[in-house]
């Protein structure tokens, strides 16, 4: 497979030209106050004790000083920089096919973004067919998005605060019989609007692109997309099809998983069996960002 590099949509020149907004007007201040009051409700969600075994590949929790965790921190920094120049809160993590590492990347990225204490982060598991996040963090399945979509309730529940990592998790819950139909209702968009008013980041672990139509639903409510591919598993033709299925304006970049090349100048991300993740961001044309 030809090497695929992450291509961020915003350049350093855009960041350099960023100007801070004027002082807020009175209506804006009132809206900000209302938003803060609404956010206080998330403190009522139950606290969950997590399991973070090394086998889970959650290096941002199990090996915080390792190279893998460091590169997730670097990715977090770049995403925050992008957040200064564009609307970026709902971040979709997907892949071309199953077993390419999208759930691992989602979990580590949520843990990394939550290290900045003043920012509230939610990991939303959008893969209703093959949920793994609840098992990865708690060791057992819990009610989540599926149950809420089927309930008809307007009160948002089935969210858990993960003690230790310091972020919130809304798992997928039990796989429904009709996941695509369930997600195509207006309730999903309403849920995302509510979650966006509570959290600074909503990291969405989406189903793969090619075998299913589910990701097209999630991409319509996302602000930005990261595509995870896996060297030795993802074929060039499949990756091209996956990229063609995504809206170019929302694609932030590509994460290459299990890259065998150890040259720091030549790869975006590497995840070895030993648990090391390394990354180097590249701009279009190959210049370093």
- Domains defined along the chain, listed by start: 46-279 (3.40.50.300)
Q: Which of 131, 8, 107 is nearest to 58 (CA)?
A: 107
Residue-wise pLDDT for 245-273, tens only, equals 888 889 999 887 765 554 443 433 443 33
The model's pTM: 0.75
Task: State whether residue 202 is helix, strand or coil.
Answer: strand
Joined together, the tokens standing for residue 287 give 């210049």
Joined together, the tokens standing for residue 35 give 């938003």
In eight-state DSSP terms, residue 52 is -
Count of other CB atoms within 10 angstroms of residue 246: 18
Residues whose CB falls within 8 Å of the CB of residue 132, separated by 6 or more in sequence, listed in order: 103, 125
pLDDT band (50, 70, 90) for residue 27: very low
Distances (CA, A) of 202 to 3, 56, 65, 121: 29, 21, 25, 6
**Which of 55-69, 139-153, 229-243, 263-277 is modeled with the greatest confidence?**
139-153
């Amino acid at each position: 497979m030809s090497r695929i590099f992450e291509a961020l949509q915003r350049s350093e020149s855009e960041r350099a030209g960023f100007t801070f907004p004027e002082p807020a007007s009175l209506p804006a201040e009132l809206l900000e106050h209302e938003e803060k009051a609404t956010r206080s409700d998330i403190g009522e969600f139950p606290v969950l004790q997590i399991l973070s075994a090394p086998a889970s590949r959650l290096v941002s929790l199990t090996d915080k000083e390792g190279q893998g965790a460091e590169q997730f921190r670097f990715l977090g920094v770049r995403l925050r920089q992008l957040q200064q120049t564009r609307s970026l809160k709902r971040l979709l993590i997907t892949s071309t096919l199953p077993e390419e590492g999208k759930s691992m990347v989602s979990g580590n990225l949520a843990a990394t973004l939550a290290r900045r204490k003043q920012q509230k982060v939610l990991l939303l598991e959008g893969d209703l067919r093959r949920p793994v996040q609840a098992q990865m963090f708690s060791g057992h399945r819990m009610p989540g998005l599926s149950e809420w979509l089927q309930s008809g309730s307007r009160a948002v529940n089935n969210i858990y605060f993960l003690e230790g990592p310091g972020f919130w998790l809304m798992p997928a819950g039990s796989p429904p019989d009709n996941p695509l139909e369930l997600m195509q209702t207006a309730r999903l968009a309403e849920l995302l609007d509510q979650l966006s008013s509570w959290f600074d980041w909503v990291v969405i672990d989406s189903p793969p692109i090619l075998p299913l139509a589910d990701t097209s639903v999630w991409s319509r409510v996302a602000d930005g997309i990261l595509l995870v591919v896996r060297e030795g598993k993802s074929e060039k033709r499949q990756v091209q099809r996956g990229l063609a299925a995504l809206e170019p304006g929302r694609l932030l970049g590509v994460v290459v998983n299990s890259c065998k090349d150890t040259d720091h100048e030549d790869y975006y991300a590497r995840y070895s069996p030993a648990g090391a993740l390394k990354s180097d961001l590249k701009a279009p044309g190959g210049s370093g960002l």
